[in-house]
């Protein structure tokens, strides 16, 4: 292996670890914000539960056929050019997660990574550094846009509709009788959301590192270390929490009672499993959680949804794709002259 390729591979490994860790903390509120706000779980218990289930999701995801994320990672070419695209995308996604965490915005870590890869692919296509099919970039972009548009709409509609049978079922019960099982359900759905996040994110990062190993031409025999590294970084990052983002989900968007909190949490967890395992779409846990909270909150006697905050989230959801694709493109183009051995058709 050439020294330049080895350096790129090590850089990708380090960037992947850093991104996985920050994504764990950034996305943790999608599972724990509602249970903590409804006093179903203490913050410490919620974080430990989410970390454990994220780790379990990574392990299970690595044992399955890795479908989630395959479309956008098909853009990544072999050799130094592929490592360069991955490095640029990982740096971009890490930076976007850090910014939105600080701003308290529940954006999608996976969509940031996917957009960065697409931007890098466009850079390679426009500079003729390597042969890359425009159709692959179009397909990846289409899948990303479908997930961006459909998953929030489905999560919002599902949560809104499920409130009706839940209210009918509990119509004669007192709030105390309803809230206790609702809090119990929140504990279960919190575990489901954390496991679903680990399942999806674990598959994506497994693919990222597996492709990096292949692009670098490394023969390792077993790739168990990819699962171990991803699980450790994601679980450790989850323990960092993400209380700024949790505050946005539970206080700035809408105040939910325990029953509607359980419905919102169930809706996002269900969408994570169905979207990833059945349709193999890159469903964002952040989009699903925020949309389900909005849907459940809109279907209550006092419409307390903070629509200016909802509009703010919508802007950030779109900016995630636009900004990360643009930065990924610029970083890839900027690194191209610095990577030896790149040539058209390599």
The string of pLDDT tens digits covering residues 104-162 is 999 999 899 989 999 998 888 877 666 666 677 777 778 778 877 888 999 999 999 99
> Model-level pTM?
0.91
Sign of the alpha-carbon dihedral angle for 28, 32, 37, 42 = negative
Q: How far is CA 112 from the centre of its chain?
A: 8
Number of H helices, E strands in the chain: 13, 0
pLDDT, average across residues 24-43: 94
How far CA 268 is from CA of 155, 240, 273, 317, in Å, comes to: 6, 22, 9, 17
pLDDT at 89: 95
Q: Is the pLDDT of residue 197 over 80?
A: yes
pLDDT at 345: 41
What backbone phi and psi angles, to 5 degrees, belong to 251? -120, -40
How far CA 165 is from CA of 30, 35, 159, 169, 189, in Å, comes to: 24, 21, 11, 6, 18
Q: Is the pLDDT of residue 90 over 80?
A: yes
CA distance 275 to 288: 10
Largest CA distance in the chain: 73
pLDDT in tens, 224-277: 888 899 999 999 999 988 899 999 999 999 989 999 999 999 999 999 888 777
């Amino acid at each position: 292996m050439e020294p330049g390729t080895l350096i790129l591979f090590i850089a990708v490994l380090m960037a992947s670890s850093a991104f996985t860790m920050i994504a764990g903390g950034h996305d943790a509120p999608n599972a724990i914000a509602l249970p903590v706000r409804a006093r179903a779980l203490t913050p410490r218990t919620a974080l430990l539960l989410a970390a454990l289930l994220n780790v379990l999701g990574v392990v299970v995801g690595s044992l399955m056929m890795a479908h989630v994320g395959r479309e956008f990672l098909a853009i990544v070419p072999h050799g130094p050019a592929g490592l360069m695209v991955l490095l640029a995308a990982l740096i971009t996604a890490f930076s976007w997660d850090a910014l939105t965490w600080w701003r308290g915005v529940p954006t999608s870590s996976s969509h940031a990574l996917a957009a960065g890869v697409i931007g890098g692919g466009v850079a390679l296509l426009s500079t003729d550094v390597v042969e890359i099919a425009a159709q692959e970039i179009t397909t990846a972009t289409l899948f990303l846009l479908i997930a961006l548009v459909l998953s929030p709409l489905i999560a919002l509609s599902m949560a809104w509709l499920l409130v009706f049978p839940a209210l009918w079922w509990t119509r004669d019960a007192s709030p105390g009788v309803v809230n206790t099982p609702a809090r119990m359900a929140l504990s279960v759905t919190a575990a489901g959301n954390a496991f679903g996040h680990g399942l999806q994110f674990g598959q994506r990062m497994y693919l990222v590192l597996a492709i990096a190993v292949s692009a670098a031409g490394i023969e390792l025999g077993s790739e168990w270390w990819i699962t171990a590294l991803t699980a450790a970084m994601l679980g450790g990052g989850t323990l960092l929490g993400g209380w700024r983002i949790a505050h946005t989900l539970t206080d700035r968007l809408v105040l939910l009672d325990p029953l509607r909190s359980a419905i919102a949490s169930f809706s996002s967890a269900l969408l994570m499993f169905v979207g990833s395992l059945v349709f193999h779409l890159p469903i964002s846990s952040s989009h699903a959680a925020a949309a389900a909270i909005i849907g459940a909150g809109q279907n209550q006697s006092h419409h307390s949804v903070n629509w200016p905050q909802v509009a703010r989230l919508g802007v950030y959801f779109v900016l995630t794709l636009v900004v990360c694709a643009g930065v990924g493109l610029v970083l890839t183009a900027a690194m191209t002259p610095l990577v030896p051995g790149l040539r058209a058709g390599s």
